Amino acid sequence: MFPTDGGKTKDVHTPRICDVVWHDGEFIKWNDARVHVMSHVLHYGSSVFEGIRCYATKRGPAIFRLREHMQRFLNSAKIYRMDHKWTIDDFIEGSIELVRRSGLEQCYIRPILFRSLDEEHPAFGVNPFPNPLACYIGAWDWGKYLGDEAIEKGVDVCVSTWNRLTPNSMPAMAKSGANYMNSQLIKMEALLNGFSEGIALDDRGYVSEGSGENIFVISNGIVNTPPLSSSILAGITRDSVIQICNELGLTIKERSIQRAALYIADEVFFSGTAAEITPVRSVDRIAIGNGGRGELTEKIQKVFFEITAGERPAPGPWLTYVREQDARAADGGTASSNANGRGSAVKKSSGSQTTPTMETELVARAAR
């Protein structure tokens, strides 16, 4: 699994890209999705975004935890004072229609909101407020983020020399483009030193997360994961793993994890929209457990992929079936489909606000 090219080639094979993009409520051609070179986002990193998987199932394409992802998207925008006109349902409906237009059975969906440029009245300073907001949603077919073999065989990782950001310097709870400059440093260092990924520590020296993944450490049958206070992103896949562990009767704890605990763990795995559930087989070239995918990791993986394939009921309404949404829309309905095919009323909310229940859930559960 050690990269031989310093990681300078494309990380994930992209066989097909959706030829249209959702832009501010309208669909435009992929090639027309362009940004002015003097846009605020290019100079100051003023963007927030999401990553969402759409899975192939027997009932057609199904988007994984779409509402939760879009709620976090709104939360990130709120933290950065990006007041906009769009609602959570605008983003949900736009994503469903984008997948439908793409013709893809499975894909990765990328919403992004950023500060652009008013070409008639340009502003070039750090102050973001004079700059207009632009929103896009794109989609493409994306393979396994850490490699096709990673899901079964695991990956070799290192502890990075770069720490995660302190909570009062950059908000880790916001999925912002600027945060991922830190992620890039972690990722590049790992690749150039022959590893697939890096694990960052927080400012106190405790385990935080990977460059783009949350982390779980299993010891003596207990599944442990760092808390929000370790400067982690509140992961939606992380939250899914927590719920799956509860369903399987596994003991799971959110606790601070020392670096040395990684080396003596029985199992370690990453979670994330792109990484899904990826085992870690070594850290700093120290084998974890048996040096491969562990028993509990495999069990959690199995349940996760059965749910995302629509073959097993989820703990909640995790799947939005695109074709069934289309059928409802054609009938004039306003219901959203869940993993069990039951409809629930779509509730409109302001684009500049969050719903209290979801915001509370994201904080309480630490929902990548």
With a CB cutoff of 8 Å and minimum separation 6, the contacts of 77 are 48, 84, 113, 351, 352
Q: Which residue's entry shows tokens 């990956």?
A: 155
- Burial of 232: CB neighbours in 10 Å, binned 0-12, 13-18, 19+: buried
CB 282 within 8 A of CB 303: no
Phi-psi region of 60 (alpha: psi -120 to 50; beta: other; left: phi over 0): left
Helix (H, G, I), strand (E, B) or coil at 335: strand
Q: Which residue's entry shows tokens 């832009």?
A: 23
153 assigned to active site:
no
Cα-Cα-Cα-Cα torsion 306, 311, 314, 320, nearest 10 degrees, comes to 110
CB atoms within 10 A of CB 286: 10
Helix (H, G, I), strand (E, B) or coil at 232: coil
Q: Considering only CA atoms, which of 242, 222, 244, 218 is closest in space to residue 232?
A: 242
| Distance from chain centroid for Cα 302 | 20
Pairwise CA distance, residues 79 & 172, whole Å: 11
Catalytic entry in 10, 29, 175, 299: 175
Which residues, in sequence order, are bridge partners of residue 206? 258
CB 39 within 8 A of CB 116: yes
Beta strands in the chain (DSSP E): 16-17, 20-23, 26-29, 47-49, 52-57, 60-64, 107-115, 133-141, 155-159, 197-201, 207-210, 214-219, 222-225, 251-254, 267-272, 276-283, 286-287, 319-321, 335-337, 343-345
Q: Which residue's entry shows tokens 């929209």?
A: 273
Helix (H, G, I), strand (E, B) or coil at 75: helix
Positions marked active-site: 175
